[in-house]
C-alpha cells in the first residue's frame, strides 16, 4: 500500500513533468516506518498531478479535509467518512478520456469500501468529536467558500457536508486504478468561514492504519 493524502492546506515538495504538464508540489512525509505523499490541488493541471502520483506507485489516495456542516445534526469537531458525493464544480479537467473515442470509469461505488472501513475502524475511539459512518459530501469550487444561499441549496439537494478539494483529483485517480476515500472533519457551518484542522491532526489515524497493513 502506497498512500497519498490530498490536503486542504498548501504543501511544498517535488513537482513532476509528464504528458499533461507540471504536477502540483508533492511532499514526501515519514509516518513511523512508512512513506506517505501529500499535496494540495493548487493551480496545476490535476491530470498531471494524478499521473505523477501513479508514476510514484501510489495505490491509495485519501482526501483529508476540513468541511462545512450542511446538516443540523453535525457539530464542529465531528468526523464523517462519506459514502457518496455530489460534484458541484465546473470547468475543470474531469477525465483523461477527453481526447479519446469514448471511455470512462464508473464512479460506483463512489469510494473504495476497504479504505472507508479502515478509516472507520481507526475512528472507533477518537480522542474527540463524534463519528458519522456515512454521508454525502458536495464539492464546490476551490477558489472560494460557498455562499449561505449555496449552502442552503446543496443541503436541500441531499448533501450533509461541503468541501472544496475532492473534484477532480479523486475521479482522475480512479481512472488510474488508485483507490480513493475521504476523511473529513467539521470545522465550520456551511456558508460561514472558519479555520481548518492542520494536516498533522490526521497523522495518528493514518499511521495506525498503515501499521495494521504492514
Tell me the three cell numbers of residue 178: 488508485
Closest CA to 6 of 55, 66, 87: 66
Rounded distance between C-alpha atoms, residue 84 and residue 169, angstroms: 15
Per-residue confidence of the chain (214 residues) as pLDDT tens digits? 999 999 999 999 999 999 999 999 999 999 989 999 999 988 899 999 999 999 999 999 999 999 999 999 999 999 999 999 999 888 777 676 665 545 566 777 899 999 999 999 999 866 678 999 999 999 998 888 999 999 999 999 999 999 999 989 998 999 999 999 999 999 999 999 999 999 999 999 999 999 876 4
C-alpha dist (Å) from residue 143 to 41, 124, 156, 165, 198: 11, 34, 23, 10, 19
**Residue ranges of domains in the chain, CATH in brackets:** 3-212 (3.40.50.1580)
Amino acid at each position: 500500500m502506497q498512500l497519498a493524502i490530498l490536503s486542504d492546506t498548501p504543501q511544498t515538495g517535488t513537482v513532476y513533468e509528464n504528458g499533461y504538464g507540471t504536477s502540483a508540489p508533492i511532499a514526501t512525509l515519514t509516518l513511523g516506518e512508512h512513506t506517505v505523499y501529500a499535496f494540495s490541488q493548487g493551480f496545476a493541471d490535476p491530470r498531471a498531478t494524478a499521473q505523477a502520483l501513479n508514476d510514484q506507485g501510489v495505490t491509495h489516495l485519501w482526501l483529508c479535509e476540513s468541511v462545512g456542516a450542511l446538516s443540523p445534526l453535525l457539530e464542529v469537531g465531528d468526523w464523517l467518512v462519506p459514502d457518496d458525493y455530489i460534484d458541484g464544480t465546473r470547468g475543470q479537467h474531469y477525465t483523461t478520456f477527453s481526447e479519446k473515442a469514448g471511455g470512462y470509469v464508473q464512479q460506483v461505488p463512489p469510494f473504495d469500501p476497504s479504505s472507508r472501513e479502515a478509516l472507520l475502524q481507526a475512528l472507533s475511539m477518537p480522542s474527540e468529536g463524534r463519528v458519522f459512518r456515512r454521508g454525502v459530501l458536495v464539492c464546490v469550487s476551490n477558489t472560494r467558500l460557498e455562499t449561505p444561499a449555496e449552502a442552503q441549496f446543496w443541503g436541500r439537494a441531499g448533501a450533509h457536508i461541503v468541501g472544496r478539494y475532492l473534484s477532480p483529483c479523486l475521479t482522475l485517480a480512479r481512472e488510474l486504478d488508485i483507490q480513493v476515500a475521504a476523511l473529513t472533519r467539521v470545522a465550520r457551518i456551511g456558508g460561514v468561514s472558519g479555520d481548518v484542522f492542520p494536516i498533522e491532526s490526521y497523522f495518528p489515524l493514518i499511521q495506525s492504519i498503515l501499521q495494521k497493513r504492514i
